[in-house]
Amino acid sequence: MRHALHVITLVFLPAALAGQATPAPARPVDWAAIQTQGVEILREYLRINTSNPPGNELEAARFLKTILEKEGIEATILDTAELGAGRANLYARVRGNGSKRAIALVQHMDVVPVTPAYWSVPPFAGEVKDGFIYGRGALDMKGEGVAHLMALIALKRSGVPLTRDIVFVANADEELGSTGGIVFVNRHADLLKDVEYLFTEGGANVYRNGRLEYYSVGVAEKRTFWQKLTVKGTPSHGSRPTRANPVPRLVAALDKIARYETPLHVTPGVEKFFHDISRNYPEPRAGYLRDVRKALDDPTARDWILSDVYWNAILRNTISLTGLAGSNKTNVIPAEASAELDIRLLPDQSPDTMLATLKRIVADTAVHFETLLAPKSPFESPANTDLFRAVERAAKDRDPSVFVTSSMMTGATDRPSYRKLGIIAYGLDPFRVEAADEQRGVHGNDERLSVENVGFGIRFLYDILRYAQ
């Protein structure tokens, strides 16, 4: 199913690329002022509590609309009735001459909930401390949203001649049901009919101990296939054990699933990713990564590769037991016991096959399966495109020795909804965030983005959009 990903590394970019004409700004950009404004906008954006549920994205949409319209960019708030009270999508466009198809910048305005007691600063204060802006959404994905916003504003202020329109979209409800993206695509396909490319979250720039290992553009993502397992029984007093207790039966089923190792499966895109990053490793590990299919047959190589949680996740379907429910009282045998599984499928894997496999492993008709979240459409975008090459070029400007590769996201985004319209959808992280910060902050505590990264991300994205003209 997956296309071969013809990723052109920076070291071997064609000579012609260096000679390509780049649209020149009619007016110089004051990058210091752009960064300062971006930081202040991000701080204000973080102060809007868009925890989902309930979302409250309408307030965020109004905030973004005001900023855009101060810059002379008309913005429209959409879908308030369809999305429900306090929710909305936002749409804006900066027009080019129309000789090429448009590029869309898509963000989501909602954030995951937070437990303030585990934070060292108030999570919705937009506080700046030690060169970092703290707040829920700083990384996922209000920081990226501000980079989109300010790159668009910088393009307009500079007067760069555009061959492509730049479309700006902010969606509601990405963190729970993706209803914002789904509703936008279903109701406003006409606003997207000329869009060729799209950027949103989903890339990964690996940055450890102040050293950038590579930039990556997300071209694919795994498919979410959440399941609930339920066993019914007969409620009774816990002092009198009975075979009608549903808890042991559920535990037995979960034990079988926990012991099951999903088969390893190397997709073409993942194979390309491992081959690309092999240059960052000494032998024999470089050799393992250059031919990952062969390496997975070698116990030593296999153990090393699968010890990396990300690599393991992109090489197989994954199953995580994340929720259990039984009695609400120690001395009561419950009428029902249930568990929830977070299942993530590789893009070319069948949900029906996975479900049939789980039922076969459990081998107990008393265990009932219910799909809590059905998979989105399989998603993959090609890498051999003008926009991918624009990323390579902008990356080379900053880090001549660092390459750009493609990557697969183990989580979920709104990209599959847009991909259904034929749009080539990418994940792009415009920042260089330490891996430890990324791991700790996204959906975690003390989420933060450095002030320096705000300026870096805006200018990186600005250059990508210029080079793609």
Residue 377, amino acid: S
Residue 78, amino acid: L
Residues 245-266 have a mean pLDDT of: 98
| Element housing 324 (H / E) | strand 318-325
| Element housing 246 (H / E) | helix 246-259
Angle at 339 between CA 334 and CA 343, to 5 degrees: 170
Q: Return the DSSP state at 264.
A: B
Q: Sorting pLDDT into bands at 50, 70 and 90, what band is 20?
A: low
| Element housing 259 (H / E) | helix 246-259
Percent residues over pLDDT 70 in the chain: 96
Residues 38-64 have a mean pLDDT of: 98
Q: Sorting pLDDT into bands at 50, 70 and 90, what band is 16?
A: very low
Is the pLDDT at 13 greater than 80? The verdict is no
What is the rounded CA–CA span in Å between residue 379 and residue 68? 31
CA dist 284 to 112, 200, 271, 300, 315, Å?
41, 36, 17, 11, 20
Is the pLDDT at 5 greater than 90? The verdict is no
Res 374: pLDDT: 86
- Phi (first) and psi of residue 360, to 5 degrees: -65, -40
What is the rounded CA–CA span in Å between residue 341 and residue 354? 12
Is the sign of the CA dihedral 137, 143, 144, 146 positive or negative?
Answer: positive
Strands 195-200 and 102-108: parallel
What is the rounded CA–CA span in Å between residue 137 and residue 121? 14
The count of C-alpha atoms lying within 13 angstroms of the C-alpha of 212, restricted to the half-sphere facing its C-beta, is 19
- SS3 call for 430: coil
Is the pLDDT at 113 greater than 90? The verdict is yes
Residues paired with 106 in a beta bridge:
169
pLDDT tens-place string over residues 329-374: 999 999 999 999 999 999 999 999 999 999 999 999 999 999 998 8
Residues 100-104 have a mean pLDDT of: 98
Q: Which stretch of 92-106, 181-195, 209-223, 353-367 has the lowest confidence by average pLDDT?
A: 209-223
Res 377: pLDDT: 85
Domains and CATH numbers, the chain: 10-221+382-395+406-467 (3.40.630.10), 223-373 (3.30.70.360)
- Structural contact between residues 87 and 173, judged by C-beta atoms closer than 8 angstroms: yes
pLDDT tens-place string over residues 126-138: 999 999 999 999 9
Residues 277-297 have a mean pLDDT of: 97
Both tokens of 176, joined, read 């729970």
- Structural contact between residues 218 and 197, judged by C-beta atoms closer than 8 angstroms: no
Average pLDDT along the chain:
94
Is the pLDDT at 18 greater than 60? The verdict is no
